Structure 1
């Protein structure tokens, strides 16, 4: 009788983590929301990893196994992953496990959609409605209150002499059609400076691993108001502290993860558009100069469903009143009232976790 009543152990769960912080943040947020123990598996992709992806092969050929986490039994019951580079790895793991591992992909997969037990996606990917696809309005995020509070407490002494409101400027970098040039950094700096000056406040600027140094240098050259400037790799990353303490946010429009995380704070959010209008990026000189060959080939010759339009999320946020475009008019106006989008992120994360748990009530995992 005791054996019959004993609670079964939670599914053994692996999170495949790659080089993109935004992808990793979504995967670990979903894992934490499940409430199950999980194990990280870091995947180091080779420079030519695109080739096996274009062939949709179930292989480890595209990764550097010596630089990656070990992939060995006991095999997991569940793999959570995001990003193109990890897809063949997830499918390889399921093959080694005899087809029993359930696979959950966050974002937009390259492999056929029926290869996945569940895909958790957002509007920029144009995925269809299907039983194994969950559509959210924003990327997954889970900012732990204790971690935020600790980060804010650690950062507060550095901000003590800066006048409020504190306006955090979260700078991203090259992504898809968005290429950060010095000219764009200069424009962002000028608009953010005007916003701080119009409101008598300060700028709290932080770059990211993707931020080109020339773009951040150009931005810094425009800032003559009280400010904090952090360059990636120079000391402790203040990002969480800024999320905890800032009174408003200016966010790079190409970073859906930073937009989502700023939205959870319930404070004014401005979107800076680093795009180049309607001109395809591969026709722009700076696009060819800055983009790696693998990405250029993928975007130029990949199937249509591999494309994305981040503007769909940006436009939805602005249309709903949850964000403003940072333009000349907005940069000289008073800060708006706080937003209410934080509850949306929490609700979608909980619903996504429930969809994952439901996979273990189903009769069998996907066969492919």
Structure 2
């Protein structure tokens, strides 16, 4: 398995002339889009790069076909899908089942000139890609696998400050400390019933009152309507801002303002992003729908790192170095690119 190298800034400045072209490829769903774009942007922070977003969408008749049947995936795309063809990028970063046949195709058609990076567990041999970057809790094996804690994402101190600026005036009307609560929803492994939402309301009320805090709560697209209604009704009298999914999304502003965080256990992305802030992350229980083994390993990893703890009934304060696995992954990608293309390494 790969270990991210210790690198210097100069060694990561790959292009001698111009910029690297990096494609961030997904089916457009927010969860995986943010993973590929976050890694691409982290690469661009380390070396001159032009980041290009590509969203892959299949025609309905092909949408549920297994990967092995998509022999000509470029011919199966919708008209409004982004084009996937020459000229190929220097680095291809993809995530999600929809991208798998394209990733393998690009590796072959580019004659190895494009570095193909697949995020998450591809559920097939890792050697079909140049690099696989997978969550540690998925236990993916392979000589070209980089295992990271959680997922790659777009949370950086610079982004948080920039995205918080439009919310500064509204937030200045409240006194701290600020408690940011991130609510997920229905997934393969978890869900949130109206009854669970009632329990969360009580836990959040206790947390707010114990610290005389201002509440900044955000639900997600996956939050069921009945649970969303319970949360909004049950917490509307508390000082703060409740984001119900409509209008401008304050997600980054809420992360930036937080003194404490509470995050539901169903989302690897939200917990990893919260852990990138260096603020104490309290994990809230959800209703289980399937095996929780992977999530158990993930949350244990965050606890071992020092970022998160299960909700104990009170807000607690602790310190840790912000989790920065996206930067580590970006360094590993550039190191591998430099190894495969030594002629493009910048001269000091």
Taking structure 2 as the reference length, what is the TM-score of the superposition? 0.82
User: Closer, same or farther in 2 for the Cα pair 1:69/1:197, shift >3 Å?
Assistant: same
1:148–1:240 contact (8 Å) kept in structure 2: yes
**1:17 maps onto 2:26 in alignment:** yes
1:13–1:80 contact (8 Å) kept in structure 2: yes
1:208 alignment counterpart: 220
Residue 102 of structure 1 is aligned with which of 93, 115, 118? 115
Residue 325 of structure 1 is aligned with which of 310, 314, 333? 310
Residue 76 of structure 1 is aligned with which of 51, 73, 89? 89
User: Closer, same or farther in 2 for the Cα pair 1:59/1:362, shift >3 Å?
Assistant: farther
Distance in 1 (CA, whole Å) between partners of 2:137 and 2:58 is: 25
2:102 alignment counterpart: 89
Q: Which segments of 5 or more consecutive residues in structure 2 lack a partner in the other structure?
A: 1-14, 342-348
**1:112 maps onto 2:121 in alignment:** no
Distance in 1 (CA, whole Å) between partners of 2:80 and 2:321 is: 39
Shift of 1:41: 0.7
Shift of 1:314: 0.8
1:149–1:244 contact (8 Å) kept in structure 2: yes
**1:257 maps onto 2:269 in alignment:** yes
2:184–2:220 contact (8 Å) kept in structure 1: yes
Distance in 1 (CA, whole Å) between partners of 2:260 and 2:59 is: 39
Residue 49 of structure 1 is aligned with which of 60, 63, 77? 63
2:4 alignment counterpart: none
**1:182 maps onto 2:159 in alignment:** no
Distance in 1 (CA, whole Å) between partners of 2:264 and 2:31 is: 13
Q: How many residues align?
A: 321
In the TM superposition, what whole-angstrom CA distance separates every residue of 1:249-298 from its partner, at most 9, and x where no partner exists?
Answer: 1112121121112112221211112242xx737xxxxxxxxxxxxxxxxx
In the TM superposition, what whole-angstrom CA distance separates every residue of 1:39-79 from its partner, at most 9, and x where no partner exists?
Answer: 111122456634222x3644427964312112232122321
Taking structure 1 as the reference length, what is the TM-score of the superposition? 0.78
Mapping of residues 270-281 of structure 1, within 5 Å: 270-276=282-288, 280=290
Distance in 2 (CA, whole Å) between partners of 1:203 and 1:20 is: 28
Q: Secondary structure at the match of 2:256?
A: helix
Q: Please identify runs of 4+ aligned residues in structure 1 that moved more than 6 A.
A: none
Residue 178 of structure 2 is aligned with which of 155, 159, 166? 166
What is the alpha-carbon root mean square deviation over aligned residues? 2.6
Distance in 2 (CA, whole Å) between partners of 1:62 and 1:206 is: 39
Distance in 1 (CA, whole Å) between partners of 2:266 and 2:162 is: 28
Shift of 1:145: 3.5
1:186–1:221 contact (8 Å) kept in structure 2: no
